[in-house]
Amino acid sequence: MKTVTVPKEVFNKILSDVETLIDDVEIALDEKVQQRIFDIESGKTNGKTEEDLDNYLKKRGYENFTLDSDRPRRGGAGSEV
């Protein structure tokens, strides 16, 4: 693999653009989460049962998920849980 040299000014511009994009994603996700919480609390949508959530996570490879953990643990073949 070849080494690519990027001038400091170009790197700083790229870094600034990435930081801006990350901030935008964070704001958008926060707004979606707040809207979802409002919808559930106001009765506009029915929340899923805990069993539904467990099945959803299990289908996607997450097992032993608890809200206490820092990160959900991925289960599956060859992985340690």
Rounded distance between C-alpha atoms, residue 59 and residue 24, angstroms: 30
Q: What local confidence, expressed as pLDDT, does residue 81 receive?
A: 40
Are the C-beta atoms of residues 21 and 29 closer than 8 Å to each other? no
Residues 75, 62 contacting (CB under 8 angstroms): yes
Residue 62's DSSP bridge partners are 74
Show the 3-state SS of 3-18. CCCCCHHHHHHHHHHH
Does pLDDT of 10 surpass 50? yes
pLDDT tier for residue 5 given thresholds of 50, 70 and 90: very high
Residues 11-69: tens digit of each pLDDT: 999 999 999 999 999 988 888 888 877 877 787 766 577 777 777 778 877 776 555 54
Considering the entire predicted model, what is its pTM?
Answer: 0.43
